[in-house]
Structure formats: structure tokens, C-alpha cells
Chains A and B, each alone.
Chain A
Amino acid sequence: MATLDSKIPEGPLKDKWTNHKNHINVVNPANKRAIDVIIVGTGLAGGSAAASLAEMGYSVKAFCFQDSPRRAHSIAAQGGINAAKNYQNDGDSTFRLFYDTVKGGDYRAREANVYRLAEVSANIIDQCVAQGVPFARDYGGLLDNRSFGGVLVSRTFYAKGQTGQQLLLGAYSAMNRQIGKGKIKMYNRHEMLELVMVDGKARGIIARNLVTGEVERHSAHAVVIASGGYGNVFFLSTNAMGSNVTAAWRVHKKGAYFANPCYTQIHPTCIPRSGDYQSKLTLMSESLRNDGRIWVPKNMKDVEAIRNGSKKPVELSEEERDYYLERRYPAFGNLVPRDVASRAAKERCDAGYGVNATGEAVYLDFASAIMRYGKEQATIQHEHDASDARIKELGTKVIENKYGNLFQMYEKITDDNPYKTPMMIYPAVHYTMGGIWVDYNLMTTIPGCYATGEANFSDHGANRLGASALMQGLADGYFVLPYTIGDYLAGDIRTGAIPTDSPEFDEAEKSVVDRLNKFINNKGTKSVDHFHKLLGKVMWDKVGMARDEKGLKEAIAEIRQIREDFHKDVFVPGTVNEFNPELEKATRVEDFLELGELFAMDALERTESCGGHFREESKTEEGEAKRDDDNFAYVAAWEWTGDPGKAKLHKEELTFNDIELKQRSYK
């Protein structure tokens, strides 16, 4: 089995990437044609890689389970994409972006990777503009920027509230060009269900055609996993319904180490759950915290009155409200990083102060921002004796200009008018920093198998900063993988096409067919969703925002039990050879049930608190997260040994030469 060699190039931090690129092997253009690359997933990371590799001349096969590559969940990212362009002249630089990202990740990311990410970030913006991505611009026709949580400069490029969609459409359009030319063969509505290895190398996949149900063999010289994150292990998350861990998990079970599975980002501003039927949570952009004040009632009797409807939140006076973020973190107030804001909300709700029927909601209030902006506007418009009503009207207009689409979305979902009554929000699972372990070249521990974007673990450490996910996906796909994969493929120019009639393919296909048939023939009584919800509840309650040893141990036992019940009692209607969404869900949930256990084990093993991972046992006297750099400055990479509970831990020590490790403080 491969050992953990991160292959970080020698030399000073700022030269590593350039030197590396200059010295790795390349494949000559004539030979690229004869080399096949499979890419699983067509979001920002997969789509951009597919387009770039095809442009270079490789023969690409791209797979997505959706009906079109354009629907990958990257599309849902709202806020923006970071890049160290320094267009705003506020002293931004590659180093500053690198520094912010490492610090934001609570010093659990690999320095060299993050520096490279910051280095290529500027190229991403150039590339996207050249593709026709309509970023926001100012009246001079130049690109506009906004600032985002946790940083001191304005480096976020955006396209109103749908930066993700616009960037994905850019990558998708680049793919379209190559599909039209026949350089990319696109497999829509296909799901990868197994990795095929020949002589210890990744040589293909087994995929199911989701329309016909046919199980297909596809061979290649390298396989790239760009299948996104695994937040849906919590059942309820802001991820798309179809987002899953299957491709990543299948690779893991074939020998790729899974790194830091417990690093999860819980986003503080999501619309709370309204009932048991709920299938998915909706995120409201983090930008709302720039103007919204977060609070719960100070007194329990007000909480009760609000819950039973006898009192309205607007009737509470300032003295009766607890602006707990402003109280606890006077310096950053409502703008503390995501993990801190989320935990603080949970703390209040656990103490019984939640303001909706489920007890899991806090207020995000724009009333004072409306009045503040209203007064400003009244002064600008020389209305010095404006009435309160007039000030409110003017202020409402300002807020509408800034957040109109978000407010509208909120009202559509909740039927509450957030201009008149405070919004209700609650944290929800949003992003997973953990993922398949990769080296500097983005290769997993399986030769020829790569992982990019959210599917890998590499750049965000224990917490991701806003607007960095899009940056990483595109950096990996446009500017890193296309170079580093050549280093490996250069050894394959004489291999020729990989045959799909080998015993390895036979065996992999058989295992998939057996697995599918097992579900169809299982005469259970409960739906797949039933088990998924059970898993989600355990994960949220015991492996969620705050974790402790007792809860984690219980979670592991409970997940094992759910897994056992699932195999015994799940019912999957229909047949294998047809369009069968329940069967798709069954294979995904089966993998989630294994991942969930590893997730909890990783959280149990890491007894420090860092970033999105908070251990009750490791906090300061004031209740804040306490990191333990002496014992935990490493990447936990887990090796599959046949049972998630018996996974073997490998540690990749993290060394910081260019950054000094500090405890984060937002007081």
C-alpha cells in the first residue's frame, strides 16, 4: 500500500509551484490523443478540468448524475470568488490571500497547496472574463469587488447572488466547445459505482446509466474524482438532494485514504427547518450579517410567548433582547467567522431560547440597519425633519437594493416579510473541508486516481473562508490538475487503449451488479429515506456543531446499528433495468452509512477543537475553541481495511515555515 508522501516540492514557498511546473514531465501533443481521462463530476472542479484537458488534446470522458453538466451543485454558490488581484488598491497580495486562508482554516491546511491556490487565483478571474462570465462591474466598466467574512481586504468577485452559476456556466461553455468537437464525450445521467484498478493503477470505472439502468464499463489511463462534498451524510444540509459521497467512497474503499472526514462547515445563516417532511435546507448569503443583528429574547417568558404566538418579536424592547454575538464578541460582533456564529446560535437554542416551534431558530434583525440607512438617506436628501415612518421607508429601500433577492427568497419560503419582522435563521451543514487525501499533484494514494475540488481535502484546513470554494474548484480544474496529471500520464504514452474485457473489469462489474440486485431483492419494509433520516439525526445530534467523547462513541454504535437495520429492512421498489431514483438513493445512503462512522471516529480521535470541529473537552475558560498544535498539527488520513470501524490512521504532519501559528480570537 502506498505511503503518505505529500510530494511538496523543495525550495522557497513562492517558487515551489513554478519550479515544479518547470520540471515535471509533459506529454507531447501527438500522444495526448491516445490517452483517455475519466472525470467524475462536472461542477467547477470537474467541468473546468474536463474542458482544459480536452483543449490540451486528451480524450476526456466526463460523467455526471444530473441531466446536464450545468446542474452540478457548484451552481448554488451565491456570494463570490476570491482572487488576489488587488484591484481595490487595499494592499492585497498572493501572500495575504494565502495567509488569510491558512489562518481561516485554523492552521490545518498544507502551506504549499494554499500558496499555490492564492498564486493562481488571479488567473481564474482572467480566464472567466475571457469566457464571457458576466461579473459585476462598476460604471467605469471595471470589475467590482466586495469584502467577505474573516478578511481585511476587498477581494471577492461576484455576479449578483449567483456567482456559482455564472462560473459554472463558464466552465460548462468551455466543455460545450470540446463536446461539440468530440474531444469530451459527455455521459449525462450516469453514476459512477465502482473504480476499476489494473495492476495497482486506476484504469476505469463502472457506471450505471440512470435512464436505462444498464451497467457500463469505461476505461481510461487516469480517473479524476470531482464529485463534491458529503454534507448530505447529515440528511438535512444545504447540499443538493443528489449530492453524495459515492464516487469518493468507492475510491476510498479501493485504497485511497480519506482525510479529515470530521471537518464540516456549518453555515450560520440558513432558513430553519419547518417540519419533519423537510428535505433540504436553504442558505441565505453570509453577506446578510453585514447589516443584520442576531438575537434571542433575554427572558424565558418572552420565548414562550413568541412560541405560542401571544407576542411578536417586534414588540420586545431593546432591553428584553439578547444580542448574544455582540455581547460575547464585542470586536467582531455579528461578523465573527461562520463556525463561531454557528456555535453561538446552538448554545442559545440548547439553553432553550430558540424562537420557533422546533426551538431551533434565532432572529436576524434588520430593523436597526433600516433606521440607520434611513437616517443617512434623509440627510443626503435634505429631509432633516423626516418622520420615523419616512426614515423607515428610505431605509427599507436601501436594504432592498442590497439584499432584495435574498429577502424575496426568504419570503417565498417562509411567507414572512423580513422587512417588517426579523428573519429566523439557524445553522446548517454547508460544506465539507475533509475529503480524499491527495498529494501536491492532487493524486490520491491510488496511482492514476486524482481528486479535485470539494472532493479532496487539501486547501481549507479545518474551516473554509467565504468565497474560497469556487476559487479552489476552478484552481484545481483549470490550473493545477491539467499540469500535474501530465507528469503521471507521461508514463502511459505507450500503453495504448485500456481494454474493458479484462478480469478486473469483469469482477468490478459483477460486484456492482450484485450490489444493485441485493437491494432490489431485499424484501424490506422501510424506504431508503427512512434510514437516511435516522443517520442524519445521529450525525446532527452527536457529530454536529459540538462533539464530545461520550456522544461520539454513542454515535458510532448507533450508526453501526442503523447500517445493520438498513441492510436488513430497506425496501427498494422497481427493477435494476429502468429509471429508478430509489435505487440510486439506496447505493448513496449505503455509502453514507459507512462514511458516517468514519466521520465520527475521526472526530473522536481529534480531541482538540479546531475550525469547524469543536470538542467540548477542548475549550478555553470562556468556552471558546482551543486548538492543540503540539499534538494535532497533522492531517488524519484514514485507510480502508474492510470495515469503517477498523480504518487505519495515517498522519501527515503539517509544518508551517512561513506562518506563525496563533490562537484565533474574535473578542
Chain B
Amino acid sequence: MLKSSIARKVAMALSAFFLMIFLLQHLAINLTSVFSAETFNELSQFMGTNPLIQFVMQPVLLFGVLFHFIMGFVLEFRNRSSRSVNYVKNNGAANSSWMSRNMILSGLVILAFFCLHFVDFWIPEINTKFIQGDWTGVVAGEEGFRYFAELQHKFVNPIRVGVYCLAFVFLALHLLHGFNSAFQSVGANNKYTKGLKKFGTAYAILVPLGFIFIALFHHFNH
């Protein structure tokens, strides 16, 4: 099914759409942590215990992430092999943006960040809940939910906060090209494209900025 170049590119775009929607959702929930620890805890608890989310959406998300990365590498590898001798002098900046030419680079930074993020949150979460069977602070109990405290704890270390911020800058760069590129890939280029481009730019800057804000907020307010 993914034999042809266009099919691969459409698949890449579809997984990107999925991830961009996921990002919005992730940001929305995280933002509540700035206003209300309670809301954040409740939402986190819902996400962490709802079977639909845990056993359907979570695997789908994992698959989406993995697919996007693997396909990204496959495409990069194939594309590199389509020019066997490189130019002695190439002036890519004359005709295209840095972001568009370096998606693999920004993607790799994001991948590295993902590893960190998984080590920080996801792996301990899965380990505690499903392997050790410790549901303290997850199911309703007198000690209260643990999510907000964990979040605050993670952002104490300034190095980690710095790494997070940097990763989000790369996410912004990735999105600055990726958002509209995904639309182009599925064939959407029409009278709305101009507006969509502006929206895409806004999305690419505001979403990562939101995450950066949250990280900094908790770093300075714990």
C-alpha cells in the first residue's frame, strides 16, 4: 500500500495531522496546571485510568509516533539516495526555508526529546501502574492525586527545563514547515491556503510556546 512515493507522503501527512491534534490536546490539559492543580489532576486522572484512552488511544498514539518517525527516516534515506553525487556548491537558502530543508534534523531533536519525556513521565507511569500495580494517587483516595506534584517536581531542575525549552524550539521549527506541508501533501492547495498558512505559522509558534511557558511557570512557581 505504501509502495508509491505519493502514498508514503500522504501517510506521513496523515500521521502528522494526528500528532498535531494530539499536541493541542496535550497542551490544553497541561495549561490547566497553570490555573488549577485540581482541574489538572482530575483531567490527568481521567486520561490515566479511562480504559478507552489507556488501551485504545494510547496504542494508537504510540503507533502514530513510531510511524511518523520510521517513515520519516525511510523517506530521508530514499531521498538521499536519489542524488548519488552531491553538488560542489549548492545554495539551498536561495529557494527554500531552512526548516523545510532540515526536517530530519528537527525531527531527530524531537525524537531525542521524546526519549527524555518518556523516561521522565510515561515509563514511570506505566511502570508504577501496570507493572508494580501501585495505583496510589491514581484512583480516588484520601492522599489525593499525585499528578500535579509530580509535574512540579520535574521542573525543578533548570537543566531539564532548558532542554525542554530547546526541544520545543525545534518542535516549532518542525511545525513551521510541517503544518502546511501536511496539507499540501494531501492535496489541499486552494484559495484557503493563504489563510491556512498564517494559521499554520501561528500554530507552529503558539503551541510550542505554550509548552515552554508551562515549563518555565512551574520552574519558577514551585
A–B contact via C-beta, under 8 angstroms: no
* Interface residues of A, Cβ cutoff 8 Å to B: none
* Interface residues of B, Cβ cutoff 8 Å to A: none
